[in-house]
Structure formats: C-alpha cells, structure tokens
Amino acid sequence: MNKYVVIILFFGLIGCTERPESYREWVIENYTESVQTKTLEVQALYRPPIYLALEEVDFQVSDKELLMRRTEELKNTVAFTMEVSSLDQSDWVVKGATSQTEKEQRLYYLSYQLINDIHLLVNGKVYPCDFLHFERTYNLKKGSRKFILVFEIDSELKVEDKVKLSLRSDLLSRKGVDLQYQIKETQELEL
C-alpha cells in the first residue's frame, strides 16, 4: 500500500515542476483568449514576466540568478501578443478602403494611433497601453496581422486578479473588443 502512495507522490511532484519548454506550452494553453466580431478574430496571449524573461534567452536557461533578476525587473509589466485575422482570410486592413490614401491612413493608425484605443483593466483600475508594435508585413496566415502590446502597472499581477484587455477601435469593431483573463497559479519552474 505504501508503495502506491510513494508512486503517486512522485508523479504528483513531477507534475508540479515545469521545464521552460513545458512552461511555454502551459502559458499558451492557459493565457490565450480570443473573440470574434462579424468579420475578424482577435486573439491575444498574455505573457507573464517570467515568460518574457525566458523569451529573452530563447527559453534556454544558463544563469538562474540573471533570469530571476530580470523577472523581478519585469514584475509590473503586462505584455500581450495579439493577432487580428480576417474570417474570410482577406487583408482586413485594406478591405473596403476606397483609395491608396485611405489604406495608408489605416496603416498609420495601426502603427501610431491604435495605442490610444487600447487599455488594460486590472481589478477595475484602467491602464493605458505604453508600447505598441504593429507588424506591417503580411503574416503567413492570410489576412492576419500581429501586434505586441505592453502595459506598466502599479504592482505585479497576483493569482485570481481579473484582467481585461480592452480595444476600442472602429477599424476592429464598432462595439469594441474585450478579452478577459484570470491570473492562475503557475507551476514551479525547474531551472
């Protein structure tokens, strides 16, 4: 009987510790949210501070102390990778534009002004987007464009915090787009 308890505890402990590669998969599985409008799908991945630090070293940890120091530096940073895709796989950025000038205005808006229409709500407190990077190149997935969004908040996110990524852009949807996240207990990383 005790032999089975030891086996269960062993497998339970293995499940509690994640390698960086497994952690990447866990984050993608647990922090990807998406919503569809009439013509678009908006999908965003929340990237926790430790995930950002691991990305900087391509998920190959050689210096644990440096990684933990970088994670601490990023603790008040909330970052997302957002992908906006057309449901009919057309280029939604230029679809419906009546002139080259209008197409260029849309690209300008997405590159420089969309940042003003994106907010983060954390437990009811509103934060403006501090950094936005719009990839102007066409993705391999037809009709898809990617964005990187970064917010600086007052204190680090905690388990059970309610987070809402809010986009209020007529180019994306007249009603706006909201993506809801709940911060989860993360697995301990094996470094």
pLDDT interval class at 98 (50, 70, 90): very high
**pLDDT (0 to 100) of residue 11:** 30
- pLDDT above 90: residue 40: yes
**pLDDT (0 to 100) of residue 8:** 29
Beta bridge partners of 189: 18
Residue with tokens 């080259």: 100
The CATH fold assigned to 37-43+76-189 is Immunoglobulin-like (2.60.40)
pLDDT interval class at 60 (50, 70, 90): confident
- pLDDT above 50: residue 10: no
- More confidently predicted of 109 and 19: 109
Above pLDDT 90, what percent of the chain? 59
Q: Provide the residue ranges of all domains of the chain, joining segments of one domain with +.
A: 37-43+76-189
Beta bridge partners of 18: 189
- More confidently predicted of 136 and 32: 32
pLDDT interval class at 62 (50, 70, 90): confident
pLDDT tens for each residue of 153-167: 999 999 889 999 999
pLDDT interval class at 188 (50, 70, 90): low
- pLDDT above 70: residue 138: no
